[in-house]
């Protein structure tokens, strides 16, 4: 019997400020990305590797993608999102995304994969760019209003 499989991913939201001044660092997805090129997204994100915790995955992705070092103990869980593309049966589109936040890190965020990341910029939650990956925009809008539930479903 085949088991249902989910692809786990870690989305790390670097934040600064608070309340109405809260900002998040986003990356503009570059031309070499296979999903939503030209859209803004979490500054660091990627798949959780076998045997890796979601916190370690977030720290690894931050180092690989934007060159910062952080302590996994400084990462805070924001929410989990079970996500799919409606009408797509491909198991790779059955996902669970872990959205995490961090306010402390070492180093200056820098683009290390220019084909995948065309720009990095801080954005206030009340002034997000027009083209944000839709499921990520949903989480950012909930964060803006201080109403992020622990678990979300998207695309069902």
Question: What is the structure's pLDDT at 100?
Answer: 98
In a domain, 1, yes or no: no
Task: Tell me the pLDDT tens digit for each residue of 31-74.
Answer: 999 889 999 999 999 999 999 999 999 999 999 999 999 998 99
In a domain, 40, yes or no: yes
Can you tell me the mean pLDDT for 124-131? 96
In a domain, 114, yes or no: yes
> In whole angstroms, what is the distance from residue 37 CA to residue 88 CA?
20
Please give the distance of CA 122 from its chain centroid, rounded to a whole number.
14
In a domain, 82, yes or no: yes
Domain of residue 65: give its range.
Answer: 7-154
How much is the pTM? 0.93
Neighbouring CB atoms inside 10 A of 13's CB total 24
Task: Tell me the pLDDT tens digit for each residue of 88-118.
Answer: 777 777 889 999 999 999 999 999 999 999 9
pLDDT tier, 146 (very low <50, low <70, confident <90, very high otherwise): very high
In a domain, 123, yes or no: yes
Closest by alpha carbon to 112, among 149, 71, 145, 66? 66
Total number of domains constituting the chain: 1
In a domain, 131, yes or no: yes
**CATH for 135:** 3.90.79.10
In a domain, 2, yes or no: no
Asked if residue 19 has pLDDT above 80, the reply is no
Closest by alpha carbon to 81, among 143, 19, 144? 143
More confident residue, 22 or 85: 22
Neighbouring CB atoms inside 10 A of 68's CB total 21
Tell me, letter by letter, the H, E, C secondary structure of 69-101. ECCHHHCEEEEEEEECCCCCCCHHHCEEEEEEE
Neighbouring CB atoms inside 10 A of 83's CB total 20
Question: What is the structure's pLDDT at 90?
Answer: 75
Mean predicted lDDT score pLDDT of the chain = 93
In a domain, 113, yes or no: yes
């Amino acid at each position: 019997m085949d088991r249902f499989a989910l692809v786990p991913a870690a989305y790390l939201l670097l934040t600064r400020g608070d309340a109405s001044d809260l900002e998040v660092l986003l990356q503009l997805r570059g031309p070499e990305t296979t999903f939503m090129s030209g859209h803004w997204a979490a500054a660091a994100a990627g798949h959780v590797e076998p045997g890796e915790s979601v916190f370690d995955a977030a720290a690894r992705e931050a180092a690989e993608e934007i060159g910062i070092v952080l302590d996994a103990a400084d990462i805070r869980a924001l929410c989990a999102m079970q996500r799919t593309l409606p009408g797509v049966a491909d198991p790779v589109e059955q996902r669970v995304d872990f959205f995490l936040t961090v306010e402390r890190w070492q180093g200056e965020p820098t683009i290390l994969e220019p084909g995948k990341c065309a720009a990095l910029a801080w954005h206030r939650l009340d002034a997000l760019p027009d083209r944000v990956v839709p499921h990520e925009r949903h989480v950012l809008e909930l964060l803006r209003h201080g109403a992020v539930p622990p678990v979300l479903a998207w695309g069902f």
